[in-house]
Chains A and B, each alone.
Chain A
């Protein structure tokens, strides 16, 4: 019954003689919230960029939304959303102009764009800010807007690279509500984070150390396996053995 949306086998990326991602393999099912954890420099972003068709794997294989990551990068891009670690909407465009731009790029018609944008602004309580320049919004709002734009074309999978970095607990909570809503609609969420409380919210969690996936299971079973009280302990147990520094 379950449908595999992301499937990766022995995926590797080397930069010169540095192996950033070392033969990782996993499957993600439709509607899952997949937590992709790891210390800084563990290779999370590199792995994610390969899945999004931004970076070619050195070896290994994988599919995203049914398309091959090696050869069908552009097909994958039609079916995914991506929110990078660094805020990357246009600061010199307004909220509405950013939505219109990306909706247009994803091939939404004018009327579809208008309808979805209005709906989206209402859901975020953003209607009054539609003509505000994005650069002048507070960080938390920017992140929410980024997420909304990354999902405007209703992608099968959305990749979130540390989406809640640097925002207050209140906004983080709201952000996770957005993630749950999207997951309920059937969107698969692939998310990296450094907050262990957020890891608890995930359906399954993988933990990367030195470019390899060292653990992969539901938070409850991971805690059991490592005889830990919290995800934080699990993470620390694994990360302690890391060779790569900060």
Chain B
């Protein structure tokens, strides 16, 4: 016990004496939590629209003015000639073209209707796609309005689209848990590896290897300090999310800490394992980066797992962050309870045991 305690104390003293680490551990979560939710938004604003009005009716004017009034859309130009609008689209001045056919208003009331056509520049797929959706919603609303005035009985089937509208704030709340996980991966994924490889480079690990300290004690001495630091980082992140974005967990705070406690063990154990195989900082960082790319891009942090190809979906089963992002989002946003997702906790528990056993076994005192 005393062996563990002196190693634990030493690790903290070293972190404290480092001119950079203590500042990083406090500033990192604050900056990431304050800045990133503002930047990482999938909402599209200022979509430039060209209206090609061949109808010149009340209805077409109404559509144009509603587009102009929209918060997300900007009416760039109204013209009667499609090629002009197309030219603007090619130059990048316009993102979406709305063409209202001749006699649209008249035909709307009955008979075969020539449809409104929408053309979007999808080079920037997000802006094109989302812009198109906004336009469809805006037009749908206008049409419902127009039909309501003229034939009050009929309810447009397009009304349902309205539910898709995603206010910016929700997206931000959706991203905040993901940012917390990125923080854990950066702090608890890199620091333990750096600390071990740093000792290899300084030669101090050899002085430890020639003592009777057990591999488990040494590994715990490296693990526990970063585990506590991780929980500290979580606390800062949660406070910032609450103060700045007014986001508090809908479910139990204890459950979030439980999930985080397990997840940090997983990621730190992983980091220590990598460090045991690395001789230099460069090597350990390069390998860590490779896995962090996988973790960030494939475990549903930024893009939903459901829309990945099937093989990728199966692959995510072995990515630990996948389970924690699920826990964090559900507990934060939906207020899910432990019983609803005990499988996720169990998965994290298994990963924690596996990686830390690996970290202990791959640490070689005698080569």
- Whether A107 contacts B3 in the complex (CB less than 8 A), given A92-B14, A92-B17, comes out as yes
Stretch at the interface among A1-9, A75-83, A178-186, A230-238: A75-83
Q: Are B211 and A102 within 8 A (Cβ)?
A: yes
In chain A, residues 64-106, which have Cβ atoms closer than 8 Å to a Cβ of chain B?
73-75, 77-78, 80, 82, 84, 86-93, 97, 100-106
On whether the beta carbons of A55 and B367 are closer than 8 Å, the reply is yes
Q: A101 — which chain B residues lie within 8 A by C-beta?
A: 6-7, 9-10
Cα distance, A74 to B213, chains bound together (Å)? 8
- A88 & B202 in contact (Cβ 8 Å cutoff): yes
Q: Is the CB of B207 within 8 A of A84?
A: yes
Of the candidates A52, A80, A89, A101, the one having the most CB atoms from chain B within 10 angstroms of its own CB is A101
Contact A90–B211 (Cβ < 8 Å):
no
Counting chain A residues whose Cβ lies within 8 A of the other chain, the interface size class is 20 to 34
Indicate if the CB atoms of B210 and A82 lie closer than 8 Å: yes
In this assembly, does A201 line the interface, its C-beta being within 8 Å of a C-beta of chain B?
A: no
Residue B209 interfacial (CB < 8 Å) = yes
A97-B211 contact given A88-B206, A107-B2, CB 8 Å threshold? no
> Which secondary structure dominates chain B's binding surface?
helix
CB pair B202–A91 under 8 Å, yes or no, is yes
Report B255-283 residues with CB < 8 Å from chain A CB.
Answer: none
What's the A-B contact tally at a CB cutoff of 8 Å? 83
- Judged by a CB distance under 8 angstroms, whether B208 is at the interface is yes
Residues 191-225 (chain B) with a chain A CB within 8 angstroms: 202-204, 206-214
- The answer for the CA separation of A87 and B204 in the assembled complex, in Å, is 8
Find A84's partner among B2, B5, B13, B206 (CB 8 Å cutoff).
B206
- Flag whether A56 is at the interface (Cβ < 8 A): yes
Q: With contacts A74-B212, A104-B2 known, is A54 near B366, CB below 8 A? A: yes
Q: Which residue of B lies closest to A70 (CB)?
A: B366
List 29 contacting pairs A-B, 8 Å CB cutoff, sorted by A: A52-B210, A54-B206, A54-B366, A56-B366, A73-B366, A75-B212, A77-B211, A84-B206, A84-B207, A84-B210, A87-B203, A88-B204, A88-B206, A90-B10, A91-B202, A92-B14, A92-B17, A92-B18, A93-B10, A93-B13, A93-B14, A97-B13, A101-B10, A102-B207, A104-B2, A104-B3, A105-B6, A107-B212, A133-B17
Within 8 Å CB of B17, what residues of A? 92-93, 133
B45 interfacial by beta-carbon distance below 8 Å: no
Task: Report B5-41 CB contacts with A as 1/0, cut-off 8 Å.
Answer: 1110110011001100000000000000000000000
